[in-house]
């Protein structure tokens, strides 16, 4: 089984700050990684697929990068509506989620 480790588990940042979340796979998953946003009380929403491709309609302040075992998710300028928990998910071998990163406003 492939394990996905996200860090940090939570963070607090100011509006306009750059926010970075990392996701590490227990083995090489090439670029087979997605990122989801889950707002409180809502279902997750796919933001980025194939490690770096933005879903249609997703603001360009969201960015994904990486390959192999190390991946990064970045919000270039945090907005109040970005308050959510973010999850990475691999699909090299079935599907596995990371533990999530809760993003709050300072």
Partner 1 sequence: QVQLQESGPGLVKPSETLSLICTVSGGSMSSHYWSWIRQPAGKGLEWLGRMYITGSTNYNPSLKSRVTMSVDTSKNHFSLKLSSVTAADTAVYYCARSFTEASLDDWGQGTLVTVSS
- Among 16, 60, 80, 94, which residue interacts with partner 1 (rule: CB under 8 A)? 94
95: which 2 tokens? 């599907």
In whole angstroms, give the CA distance from residue 26 to residue 35: 17
1 touches partner 1 (CB under 8 A): yes
Q: 71: buried, middle or exposed (CB in 10 Å: 19+, 13-18, 0-12)?
A: buried
Based on CB atoms, which residue is closest to partner 1, 32 or 71? 32
In whole angstroms, give the CA distance from residue 77 to residue 62: 9
Instruction: With contacts defined by CB under 8 A, name the span among 12-20, 22-30, 65-73, 87-95 that binds partner 1.
Output: 87-95
* Chain residues that interact with partner 1, rule: CB under 8 A: 1, 32, 34, 36, 38, 42-46, 49-50, 87, 89, 91, 94-100
């Amino acid at each position: 089984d492939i394990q996905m480790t996200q860090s940090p588990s939570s963070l607090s940042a100011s509006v306009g700050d750059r926010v970075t979340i990392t996701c590490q796979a227990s083995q090489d998953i090439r670029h087979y990684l997605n990122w989801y946003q889950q707002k409180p009380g809502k279902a997750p929403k796919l933001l980025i697929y194939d490690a770096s491709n933005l879903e249609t309609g997703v603001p360009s302040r969201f960015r994904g990068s990486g390959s192999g075992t190390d991946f990064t998710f970045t919000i270039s300028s945090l907005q109040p509506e970005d308050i959510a928990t973010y999850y990475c998910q691999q699909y090299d071998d079935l599907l596995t989620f990371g533990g999530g990163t809760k993003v709050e406003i300072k």
